[in-house]
Amino acid sequence: MADHYFSRKPGVAARLREIEVEIGGRSFAMRTSSGVFSADGLDHATRHLLDRLDVDDTTPARVLDLGCGWGPVALALATRWPQAEVWAVDVNERALELTARNAERHDLPVTTSLPEDVPDALTFDAIWSNPPIRIGKQALHDLLLHWLDRLTAEGTMTMVVGRQLGADSLQRWLVEQGWPTERIGSAKGFRLLRARRP
């Protein structure tokens, strides 16, 4: 799995495709490509995450899509909170390019960035993520702790994780690390977890 959607520069040739995605009751024409996560369309886990976004009643000033892929969550964040500053982060340069193009296509302000290029002083009121579970447990733990530390005092991270991919053990681990984490939803084998500062 050396060349996967979490590679910086996917080795597989880019095969672009056009898809239609419904987000927040609105239809979006989106471009995806081979070499990025869920290139054939919106995956079930991300759909459950977006369903939660539709009923979230917070009003964040700055939000982050962590592991943006081709951009469905980033565009949903920008649609849900048009007043917010939206960032989309991914290690995959092809994914960042697709997200930027999809956002521009729909006139939605989204800033795309490699993780290391996000300014150190930047903090987020909300982070939304379908995290890359398959990068390995230690890498995943390091990733989550890094970005949790970028939350504002009242900030939260909302993530969707498959039950069979360790959602319950991940929740326990986050609590053990000092990050109160609750299950805010569950559907078809997926858990929606929300972590916050102590």
The angle formed by the CA atoms of residues 157, 191 and 81, to the nearest 5 degrees, is 40
Residue 1 identity:
M
pLDDT per residue as tens, the chain (198 positions): 334 555 567 657 788 999 999 987 889 999 999 989 999 999 999 999 999 998 888 899 999 999 999 999 999 999 999 999 999 999 999 999 999 999 999 999 999 999 999 999 999 999 999 999 888 899 999 999 999 999 999 999 999 999 988 999 999 999 999 999 999 999 889 999 999 998
Radius of gyration, CA atoms only, the chain: 16
pTM of the predicted model as reported, rounded to 2 decimal places: 0.93
Name the residue ranges covered by the structural domains of the chain.
43-196
State the pLDDT at residue 14. Answer: 81
Which single residue is written with the structure tokens 């943006």?
68
CATH annotation of 43-196: 3.40.50.150
Q: CA dist 10 to 15, 24, 36, 68, Å? A: 12, 30, 8, 15
